[in-house]
Amino acid sequence: MERIFGRPIVTQEEMRARIRELGKQITADYTGKDLVLVGVLKGAYAFYADLARAIRVPLRVDFLMVTSYGSRTKTSGKVKMVTELTEEIKGKDVLLVEDIVDSGLTVQYLLKTLGKKKPRSIKVCTLLSKPERRTIDVTIDYEGFRIPNKYVVGYGLDYQQEYRNLPYLAVLDVAEDQE
Ligand code: IMP
Ligand code: MG
């Protein structure tokens, strides 16, 4: 199956520049802290790798994987953590790294779940945000780009597990639109 994508919604150059800025900001904010960078798989993997290398303070890397039930371009409303962290986060400064905050459900769930492990602080960094889609009011501490209510793929983000390796972000035109 081949799909033709239109113009990138965020180009590789824009991405690089914005990630450099986020890295600087995070470096300044986490100097002297005890940073654990927690990536939310699978979607955040590309952003995570670039972001981590733009941060210039010592940090530990860790990952967790979540699934949200439901299919295709809609989030169903049930989030489940399918892998655990391996690093101790008690007393540490956790920065959650997400690909996209859509309804806000995943972030809300992760803040609650990881919060129980008593980190000293926990903040959220997301590459993308779709404010129009928010149903839960979550605080985003670092945000790469705000995008309109369109389904996007590439740079880690998928449609039915495909297109994650597209080196830029593109709008996927599927018949099944988001409401
Ligand atoms: P939430 O609705 O904020 O919980 O977001 C759930 C998840 O849906 C995100 O972490 C993404 O994995 C996925 N998602 C939301 N919007 C998009 C999109 O436009 N493209 C690809 N995945 C998306
Ligand atoms: Mg995700």
Ligand 1 atom closest to Cα of residue 105: 4
Pocket lining: 102 vs ligand 1, CB cutoff 6 Å: yes
Q: Is the CB of 75 under 6 A from ligand 1?
A: yes
Enumerate the domain spans of the chain: 3-174
Cβ atoms of residues 176 and 150 within 8 Å = no
Q: Is 106 helix (H, G, I), strand (E, B) or coil?
A: helix
SS3 percent helix, strand, coil of the chain, rounded to 5, is: 25, 30, 45
Q: What are phi and psi of 140, to 5 degrees?
A: -110, 120
* Each residue's pLDDT tens digit, 54-97: 999 999 999 999 987 655 555 567 888 999 999 999 999 999 99
Stretch 89-109: mean pLDDT, rounded? Answer: 97
| Predicted local distance difference test score (pLDDT) of residue 67 | 85
Is residue 102 part of the annotated active site? The answer reads yes
Q: Of the residues 10, 68, 75, 168, which should be mutated to test ligand 1's pocket, given the most ligand atoms within 8 Å of the CB?
A: 75
Q: Give the tens place of pLDDT for each residue, 17-66.
A: 999 999 999 999 999 999 999 999 999 999 999 999 999 999 999 999 99
Give the pLDDT mean for 105-133.
97
Annotated catalytic residue: which of 50, 93, 99, 102? 102
CATH class of 3-174: alpha beta
pLDDT at 115 over 80: yes
Atom of ligand 1 nearest to the CA of 157: 21
Whether 129 shows a pLDDT value over 90: the answer reads yes
> What pLDDT is recorded for position 179?
44
**What is the distance, to the nearest Å, from the Cα of residue 43 to the centroid of all Cα atoms in its chain?**
7
Phi, psi of 60 (to 5 degrees): -110, 145
What gap in Å lies between CA 41 and CA 31, rounded to an integer?
26
Q: Write the residue with the smallest CA distance to atom 17 of ligand 1.
A: 151
Kindly give the number of the ligand 1 atom that is closest to the alpha carbon of 98: 10
Cα–Cα distance for residue pair 74/103, rounded to 1 Å? 10
Instruction: Please tell me the predicted confidence (pLDDT) of residue 4.
Output: 60
